[in-house]
């Protein structure tokens, strides 16, 4: 094997280790890597998105239909962000979007994501009516990704309790770094 072929193989392996194989989006590892490299002069919004009604699709139509919904969700989420933003599938029907810019930019993309998921998804002869709920936080500084996600998840669950198919985005609570719980 020559050097060029080996180099291509290693690049492909690295890319695959950071990509969700089903949707082609970043996975959690890829999100962590790309988030650290992401520049912004106006802060970052982290949006946690969960599909409403996804379990019903799997139960009624099977996992292949659920996979189709996840792939289409990835396509729709990519369509509502800019090329500089990050879209990832972090597990199951959970997605994370990172938006470079001010709070208004993150809020606008959260609303567009919710709206994009209101369009039924064709699955064979039927349609899946899954919706999305988004919780998001904005910070002027690049915070610890796990802390960002935990704060966005908190708002996601508040939005679900308030009725689903909606978004809640606000500035991250300003907690000193040394006072944050550490994850192990």
Mean of pLDDT values over 146-158:
95
| Residue 53 near residue 130, CB atoms below 8 Å | yes
Mean of pLDDT values over 69-82:
98
CATH number (3.30.230.10, 3.50.50.60, 3.30.70.270, 3.40.1080.10) of 22-172 reads 3.30.70.270
Confidence of residue 8 (pLDDT cuts 50, 70, 90): low
| DSSP conformation letters of the chain | --HHHHHHHHHHHHHHHTB-TTT-SB-HHHHHHHHHH---SS-EEEEEEEEESHHHHHHHH-HHHHHHHHHHHHHHHHHHS-TTSEEEEEETTEEEEEEES-HHHHHHHHHHHHHHTTS-EEETTEEE--EEEEEEEEESS---HHHHHHHHHHHHHHHHHTTSSSEEEEEPP---GGGSPPP-
Mean of pLDDT values over 62-88:
97
Identify the bridge partners of residue 49 per DSSP, sorted by sequence position: 95, 134
Q: Where are the domains of the chain?
A: 22-172
Confidence of residue 146 (pLDDT cuts 50, 70, 90): very high
pLDDT score at 142: 86
* Threshold 0.85, pTM exceeds: yes
Nearest Cα to 19, choosing from 60, 74, 82?
74
- Quote the radius of gyration of the chain (alpha carbons, Å): 17
Question: Which residues are CB-neighbours of 61 under 8 A, at least 6 positions away?
Answer: 123, 124, 126, 128
> Pairing relation of β-strands 126-128 and 121-123?
antiparallel
pLDDT score at 33: 94
| Residue 133 near residue 166, CB atoms below 8 Å | yes
């Amino acid at each position: 094997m020559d050097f060029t072929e080996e180099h291509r193989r290693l690049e492909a392996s690295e890319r695959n280790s950071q990509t969700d194989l089903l949707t082609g989006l970043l996975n959690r590892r890829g999100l962590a890597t790309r988030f650290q490299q992401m520049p912004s002069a106006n802060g970052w919004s982290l949006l946690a998105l969960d599909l409403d009604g996804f379990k019903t699709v799997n139960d009624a139509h099977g996992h292949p239909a659920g996979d189709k919904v996840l792939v289409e969700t990835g396509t729709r989420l990519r369509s509502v962000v800019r090329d500089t933003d990050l879209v990832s599938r972090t597990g199951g029907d959970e997605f994370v979007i990172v938006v470079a810019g001010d709070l208004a930019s993150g809020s606008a993309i959260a609303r567009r994501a919710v709206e994009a998921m209101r369009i039924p998804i064709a699955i064979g002869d039927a349609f899946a009516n899954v919706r999305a709920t988004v919780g998001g936080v904005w910070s002027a500084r690049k915070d610890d990704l796990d802390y960002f996600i935990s704060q966005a998840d908190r708002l996601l669950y508040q939005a679900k309790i308030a009725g689903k198919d909606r978004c809640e985005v606000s500035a991250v609570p300003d907690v000193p770094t040394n006072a944050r719980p550490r994850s192990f």
